[in-house]
Structure 1
Amino acid sequence: MTDPANVALFERMLVALGTKDFDTFEACLADDILLEWPYPVMGGFPTEQRGARWLRDALEESLRDFTPYAYRIAAIHEMADPGKLIAEYSSHSEYLPTGAPYSNNYISLFEFADGRITRWREYVNPQVVERALGTSATWQAVKDGAIG
């Protein structure tokens, strides 16, 4: 069964991300965390990346134009391996430049070691992102400040 400390770490990480407490968020992640998005979030966004600092920087940029996220955990699926879990959750926010509501659903696989998240594979609906940001949304446009 999944270690209860890992479940608590996942929950703490999600609360920190939702409230834009990026220091606490980053502290939940292994420095060399493996991040995977089988369905890229937007054009130009990587399907795989390593690094807690990279993820923190990327999320600070991409979330700056959103109200804090209200995350809701729908289910946590424990696994036989104590260092893994699968989570189903949703986010609820508002895209500030347009006032459009933003809600998305996620299914993620997490792996843990030494009290940190070491792998995060996230399945997210990129069409929801596109509807909120517009069809011209690309990762480069977000980084350049052209979106938002």
Structure 2
Amino acid sequence: MTVEANRDLFVTMLNALGRKDYDTFEACLADDILLEWPFPVMDGFPTEHRGARWFREALETSWVDFDPYAYQIEAIHMLTDPGTLVAEYSSHSRYLPTSTPYSNRYVSVVDIANGRIVRWREYVNPSIVAAILGQKAVWKESSGATVGLE
């Protein structure tokens, strides 16, 4: 794929995620995508995980208490390898239980192959997540399926 096609894939994926269009979002990901969060967003949250279906189900469960995310892309940097990009973006939403605005900033390193995202390493500010969900937010999973937040 071309640099432009890879950039478009990332934009399509992020926009679908923001709208909670999980079908389009998941279609942009390789089935065995490697997801990485070097700075876990809460206790128990994995630093890495594999699988588009797992990620979709985790988001469908954990984002139920949020309005759709309005993502704003500040920059997409294409690297020497046309299959890798670095994206800087922000999200803007509302945490419904308290009607609190939620905004965060992200930097992601994304690898793309055969028209799908195969690796997504996301750097997000976990202290902003804790401020919205509470300092004692805990990620819970049971039998490999996400249950939600405690």
Give the TM-score of the pair, scaled to structure 2: 0.93
Name the CA distance, whole Å, in 2 between partners of 1:48 and 1:105: 19
Aligned to 1:10: 10
AA in 2 matched with 1:18: G
Aligned length: 145
Q: Report the CA distance between 1:135 and its aligned residue.
A: 1.1
Gaps of 5+ in 2: none
C-alpha displacement at 1:3, in angstroms? 1.1
1:73 is aligned to: 73
Structure 2: how far apart are the matches of 1:32 and 1:134?
A: 32
Runs of 4+ in 1 over 6 A off after TM superposition: none
Q: CA RMSD in A?
A: 1.4
Q: Give the deviation of 1:146 after TM superposition.
A: 5.6
| Alignment CA distance shift 1:145-1:46 (3 Å) | closer
The letter for the 2-side match of 1:14 is: L
Structure 2 residue identity aligned to 1:5 = A
CA positional deviation for 1:145: 5.2
**Partner residue, 1:135:** 135
Q: After TM superposition, give the deviation of residue 29 of structure 1 in Å.
A: 0.0
- The answer on 1:89 being equivalent to 2:89 is yes
Percent identity over the alignment is: 66
Asked whether the equivalents of residues 61 and 147 of structure 2 are also in contact (C-alpha less than 8 Å), the reply is: no
Q: TM-score, normalised by structure 1?
A: 0.94
Closer, same or farther: CA 146–18 of 1 in aligned 2, 3 Å:
closer
Which structure: greater strand fraction? 2
